[in-house]
Amino acid sequence: EKSEELLQNKSFQMHGASLVKMLDSSLDMIGPDIELLTDLMLDLGSKHKQYGVQPEMFPIMGVAIIDALHEILKDG
């Protein structure tokens, strides 16, 4: 199945790990480093735009992140 192939893909795994690190760092920056966080997010958005990411993709990604966090945190 395609989703299983994706989960086994090393590039996908590395991107997922980068996403988790970015989320963790972002949460740490809220408050004292909000200006730096804003600059970093704008830069990240610019890079993703170059990769072809479209604004209509963000709600889907948001739901996926929330679902993943819920799954991870439900046992904690």
Q: For residue 28, what are the CA distances in angstroms to 21, 31, 33, 36, 47?
A: 11, 8, 8, 11, 22
Distance of CA 47 to the CA centre of its chain: 13
Q: What is the pLDDT of residues 16-27, one digit of tens each?
A: 888 888 888 888
Q: pLDDT tens digits, residue range 53-74?
A: 998 988 888 888 888 888 877 8
pLDDT value of position 65? 82
Q: Work out the burial of residue 33: count CB atoms within 10 Å of its CB; fewer than 13 is exposed, 13-18 middle, 19 or more buried.
A: middle
